């Protein structure tokens, strides 16, 4: 057990809805760091719930959303972005007064719009997005240190209670994350370029390679060089989650894709006209970005792109 914090835990009873990679990691981390007294796991999928029981991830396990959230002080929605609204609607009226609802969705404007209208007065909603994950899904994929040293972005609503925001911040800090607040609009723009467009590019490049008629599928697998392999790792990410991300963050993704296409055209021109200086100048700037990410501890400098970090042994 890590060093005990002297501050009282911000929440006693936690309900996690959706025990996939992120939900199961929150449950593991909450127990590992002693962030709450009781953990309730709620999922619609009986196979997921069986795994949660077998792995001992929660104190209570149920497929009954209304009963599961009823006594919770903090409810965290860990379902795909497109499902957050329907889950909020189904639990409306079953939450106890003063409960705080949060989420982990990778898109914030759409989730806030889908969830907030269903919550009764007296229930605080504090949207959140832990910027941490892997390409794996399901309860077996989670681990308690997933959020250690990683950012968790809170996007408080204008009408949100500062005290509820502070408690959610304290929860994330207890499980190892570093918290920053910003508006949902700014979050969606930043994540469009740092996460969503890179995933789209990965899905596209792997799809293009798979469709090439002159190259067989087995050659793509056999001769996959480091660069392509890194794209395949990203392109193996959960199809449902990423479908929802692109549908929910349409405007910001299209804005960033427009810029990306312009820059790609400039690169195409530089290659066509043999402009080595332009290529060299860009590649020098991008190398500095990579070094900056390593310097602030968000990545290792290991030559395998830090793959060893993506799933550390679970100490819990
Ligand atoms: P995941 O491993 O696929 O888990 C999602 C869980 O939610 C599954 O157990 C799924 O059950 C359940 N679920 C789906 N729709 C539901 C519904 N309508 N009602 C109840 N449960 C439902 O996904 P994840 O990677 O943990 O992602 C969960 C959330 O975290 C998403 O909003 C995503 O944007 C966000 N996030 C993901 C990452 C990442 O790297 N993966 C990082 C940060 C944030 P079924 O098996 O029945 O579908």
Are residues 96 and 215 located together in one domain of the fold?
Answer: no
The helix or strand, by DSSP H or E, that contains position 27, with its residue range, turns out to be helix 21-32
Are residues 173 and 83 located together in one domain of the fold?
Answer: yes
Report the chain's C-alpha Rg in angstroms.
21
Residue 4 lies in a domain: no
Whether the CB-CB separation of 97 and 119 falls below 8 Å is answered with no
Q: How far is the CA of 51 from the centre of ligand 1 (A)?
A: 15
Q: What residue numbers bound the domain in which 49 lies?
A: 13-182
How many domains does the chain fold into?
Answer: 2
Whether the CB-CB separation of 35 and 175 falls below 8 Å is answered with yes
Are residues 192 and 125 located together in one domain of the fold?
Answer: no
d(CA 175, CA 31): 9
Are residues 193 and 178 located together in one domain of the fold?
Answer: no
Are residues 59 and 127 located together in one domain of the fold?
Answer: yes
Residue 313 lies in a domain: no
Q: Which atom of ligand 1 is nearest to the CA of 83?
A: 18
Asked which of 182, 216, 234 is the last residue of a domain, the reply is: 182
Which pairs from 46-54 meet CB under 8 Å and 24+ separation? 48/19, 48/20, 48/138, 48/139, 49/19, 51/19, 51/138, 51/139, 51/140, 52/19, 52/24, 52/27, 52/139
Residue 5 lies in a domain: no
Residue 48 lies in a domain: yes
Are residues 22 and 80 located together in one domain of the fold?
Answer: yes
Residue 161 lies in a domain: yes
d(CA 209, CA 228): 9
Residue 67 lies in a domain: yes
Are residues 240 and 271 located together in one domain of the fold?
Answer: yes
From first to last of its 316 residues, the chain has per-residue pLDDT tens of 454 445 667 899 999 999 999 999 999 999 999 999 999 999 999 999 999 999 999 999 999 999 999 999 999 999 999 999 999 999 989 999 999 999 999 999 999 999 999 999 999 999 999 999 999 999 999 999 999 999 999 999 998 899 999 999 999 999 999 999 999 999 999 999 999 999 999 999 999 988 886 777 777 777 777 788 889 999 999 999 999 999 999 999 999 999 999 999 999 999 999 999 999 999 999 999 888 888 888 887 776 655 554 454 444 4
- For residues 127, 133, 138, 141, the Cα torsion angle rounded to the nearest 10 degrees is -140
Are residues 178 and 190 located together in one domain of the fold?
Answer: no
Residue 288 lies in a domain: yes
Q: Residue 105's domain is classified under what CATH number? A: 3.40.50.720
Residue 178 lies in a domain: yes
Model pLDDT, residue 48: 98
Are residues 28 and 160 located together in one domain of the fold?
Answer: yes
Q: Residue 216's domain is classified under what CATH number? A: 1.10.3660.10
Asked which of 154, 182, 210 is the last residue of a domain, the reply is: 182
Are residues 98 and 144 located together in one domain of the fold?
Answer: yes
Are residues 150 and 240 located together in one domain of the fold?
Answer: no
Pairing of strands 60-62, 13-17: unpaired
**Which residue of 15, 21, 194, 309 sits with most ligand 1 atoms within 8 Å of its CB, as the best mutation to test the pocket?**
21
Model pLDDT, residue 310: 47
Are residues 191 and 106 located together in one domain of the fold?
Answer: no
Asked which of 148, 163, 182 is the last residue of a domain, the reply is: 182
Q: How far is the CA of 125 from the centre of ligand 1 (A)?
A: 19
- Rounded to an integer, what is the distance from CA 174 to the centroid of its chain? 18
Strands ordered across the beta sheet of 151-154? 128-130, 151-154, 178-181
Residue nearest to atom 12 of ligand 1 (CA): 18
Q: Which atom of ligand 1 is nearest to the CA of 25?
A: 26
Model pLDDT, residue 222: 74
Beta bridge partners of residue 41, listed in sequence order: 16, 61
Ligand 1 neighbours (beta carbon < 6 A): 18-23, 43-45, 48, 78-81, 83, 86-87, 104-106, 129-130, 133, 137-138, 238, 241, 245
């Amino acid at each position: 057990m890590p060093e005990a914090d002297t501050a009282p835990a911000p929440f006693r009873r936690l309900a996690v809805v959706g025990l996939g990679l992120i939900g199961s990691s929150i449950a593991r981390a909450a127990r590992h760091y002693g962030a709450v007294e009781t953990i309730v796991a709620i999922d619609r999928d009986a196979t997921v719930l069986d795994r949660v029981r077998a792995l001992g991830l929660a104190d209570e396990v149920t497929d009954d959303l209304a009963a599961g959230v009823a006594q919770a002080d903090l409810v965290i929605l860990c379902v795909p972005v497109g499902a957050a609204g329907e889950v909020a609607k189904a639990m409306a009226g079953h939450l106890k007064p003063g409960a705080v609802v949060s989420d982990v969705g990778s898109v914030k404007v759409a989730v806030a719009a889908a969830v907030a209208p269903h919550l009764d007065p007296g229930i605080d909603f504090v949207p959140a997005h832990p910027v941490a994950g892997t390409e794996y899904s399901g309860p077996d994929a989670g681990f308690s240190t997933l959020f250690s040293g990683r950012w968790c972005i809170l996007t408080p609503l204008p009408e949100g209670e500062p005290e509820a925001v502070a408690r959610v911040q304290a929860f994330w800090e207890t499980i190892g994350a570093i918290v920053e607040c910003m508006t949902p609009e700014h979050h969606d723009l930043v994540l469009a370029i740092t996460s969503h467009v890179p995933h789209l590019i990965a899905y596209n490049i792997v799809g293009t390679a798979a469709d090439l008629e002159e190259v067989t599928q087995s050659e793509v697998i056999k001769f996959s060089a480091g660069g392509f392999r890194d794209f395949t790792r990203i392109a193996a990410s959960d199809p449902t989650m990423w479908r929802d991300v692109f549908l929910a963050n349409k405007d910001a993704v299209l804005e960033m894709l427009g810029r990306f296409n312009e820059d790609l055209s400039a690169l195409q021109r530089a290659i066509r006209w043999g402009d080595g200086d332009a290529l060299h100048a860009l590649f020098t700037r991008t190398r500095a970005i990579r070094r900056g990410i390593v310097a602030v501890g968000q990545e290792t400098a290991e030559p395998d792109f830090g793959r060893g970090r993506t799933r550390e042994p679970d100490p819990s």
